[in-house]
């Protein structure tokens, strides 16, 4: 009988300290502790995926009481605190509710300019009443809340100032200021927002490595993919020697024994542009000459080729291509004129750009009409700065 009583007391202690309903890993599918629902948000920066897993409390939690104005410094404590539970006697905020909030990076990144390796981290936050708050990325991502937090597991700490924000009932993570090589991750709750910048400094190297791998697989059977790979390198001024080989494959033969290369305006001009970027101008001129001698070149392909040349910084060749498009397609007055407008605008000839924009807008095809307001804004800006 005594053994049964001791066992019952032990079970009650365990249930009190670790309620089953609070555990994701529980054997029973019961609601989360405090009805703080589990949430997840992800964002890609190019090939890099970032995911944040957390539990989301609300302002009117704790039995429905309105906690507005009592979150920061009360519900969420300032500094480090001994919460009287677990091994840690000095805990930051778990930056959410229930289990430890975690953040996962598929590749190495920089956080506020500091290096952080790929992996999954526990995400904590140290608040200050006056001054910046500190994000803590911990190698220990498997704890429950902050009760097992130990600073020896810290991988990175970065300090940033909190900001005032519109009211948010639920604690919410999100991503803002999304760019090709960066994004801003943020936590927003009540009337505060705290964020940190994520940067992928070698984003183009990651793309290039993936491109090389994919060209040796099924995508390598299509000449268009070799062409796209060569154009990527041209635009970003990288890996040009190999890009020239890829351009040749697009023209001649992607894989041995697989016909399908194509000598058209785009493939020839891409090769010419790469040769020019390598300083081999006489060869580039010869290849470009072959492109301009082709008949029946598609107007959109020529336009896109010209825009690629413009992106690569070869403005003279881009203008030559757009003029060729206009000459070859005298009755087409949208793609040809829009191409000229964009090249003249990039070259600083605003008057010529405006004239071509006006003609392009007057001849917009039906499927492009939703973009007319954007075109008009571009033209209005040119006129304003003329």
Q: Can you give the chain as a three-state secondary structure string?
A: CHHHHHHHHHHHHHHHHCCHHHCCCCCCCCCCHHHCEEEEEEEEECCEEEEEEEEECECCCCCCCCCCCCCECCCECCCCECCCCCCCCCECECCCCCCCCEEEECCCEEECCEEECCEEEEEEEECCCCCCEEEEEECCCCCCCCCCCCHHHEEEEEEECCEEEEEEEEEEEEEEEEECCEEEEEEEEEEEEEEEEEECCCHHHHHHHHHHHHHCCHHHHCHHHHHHHHHHHHHHCCCHHHHHHHHHHHHCCCECCECCCCCCHHHHHHHHHHHHHCCCHHHHHHHHHHHHCCCCCCHHHHHHHHHHHHHCCCHHHHHHHHHHHHHHCCCCCCHHHHHHHHHHHHHCCHHHHHHHHHHHHCCCCHHHHHHHHHHHHHHHHHHHCC
Measured CA to CA, the distance from residue 275 to residue 98 in angstroms comes to: 59
Q: Are 193 and 225 in contact (CB under 8 A)?
A: no
Per-residue confidence (pLDDT) for residue 29, from 0 to 100: 73
Measured CA to CA, the distance from residue 63 to residue 53 in angstroms comes to: 25
Residue ranges of domains in the chain: 31-199, 203-384
Which ranges of the chain have pLDDT less than 70?
A: 1-28, 34, 62
Q: Are 145 and 100 in contact (CB under 8 A)?
A: yes
Token pair 């990288």 in the structure block, residue: 238
Cα–chain center distance at 360: 33
Per-residue confidence (pLDDT) for residue 298, from 0 to 100: 92
Per-residue confidence (pLDDT) for residue 62, from 0 to 100: 64
Q: pLDDT by residue (tens digit) across 307-361?
A: 999 999 999 999 999 999 999 999 999 999 999 999 999 999 999 999 999 999 9
Domain made up of 203-384: CATH architecture: Alpha Horseshoe (1.25)
Residue whose C-alpha is closest to residue 24's, from 4, 2, 10, 40: 40
């Amino acid at each position: 009988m005594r053994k049964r009583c001791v066992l019952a007391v032990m079970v009650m202690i365990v249930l009190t300290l670790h309620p089953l309903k609070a555990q994701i890993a529980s054997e029973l599918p019961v609601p989360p502790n405090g009805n703080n629902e589990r949430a997840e948000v992800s964002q890609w920066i190019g090939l890099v995926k970032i995911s944040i897993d957390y539990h989301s409390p609300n302002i009117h939690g704790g039995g429905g009481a309105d906690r507005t104005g009592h979150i920061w410094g009360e519900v969420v404590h300032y500094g480090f605190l001994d919460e009287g539970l677990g091994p840690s006697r000095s805990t930051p905020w778990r930056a959410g509710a229930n289990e430890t909030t975690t953040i996962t990076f598929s590749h190495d990144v920089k956080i506020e300019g500091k290096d952080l390796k790929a992996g999954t981290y526990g995400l904590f936050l140290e608040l200050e009443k006056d001054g910046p708050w500190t994000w803590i990325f911990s190698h220990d991502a498997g704890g429950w809340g902050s009760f097992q937090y130990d600073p020896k597991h810290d991988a990175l700490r970065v300090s940033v100032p909190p900001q005032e924000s519109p009211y948010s009932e639920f604690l919410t993570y999100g991503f803002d200021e999304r760019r090709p090589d960066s994004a801003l991750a943020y936590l927003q709750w009540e009337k505060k927002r705290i964020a940190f910048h994520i940067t992928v400094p070698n984003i183009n190297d990651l793309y290039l490595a993936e491109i090389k791998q994919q060209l040796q697989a099924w995508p390598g059977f299509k000449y268009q993919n070799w062409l796209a790979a060569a154009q990527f390198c041209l635009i970003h001024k990288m890996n040009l020697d190999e890009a020239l080989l890829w351009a040749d494959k697009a023209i001649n033969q992607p894989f041995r024994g697989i016909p399908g290369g194509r000598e058209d305006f785009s493939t020839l001009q891409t090769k010419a542009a790469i040769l020019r970027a390598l300083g081999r101008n006489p060869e580039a001129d010869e290849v470009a000459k072959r492109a301009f001698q082709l008949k029946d070149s598609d107007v959109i392909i020529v336009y896109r080729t010209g825009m690629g040349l413009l992106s690569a910084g070869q403005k003279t060749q881009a203008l030559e291509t757009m003029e060729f498009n206009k000459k070859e397609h005298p009755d087409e007055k949208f793609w040809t004129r829009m191409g000229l407008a964009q090249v003249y605008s990039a070259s600083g000839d605003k008057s010529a750009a405006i004239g071509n924009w006006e003609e392009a807008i007057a001849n917009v095809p039906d499927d492009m009409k939703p973009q007319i307001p954007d075109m008009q804004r571009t033209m209005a800006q040119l006129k304003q700065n003329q």
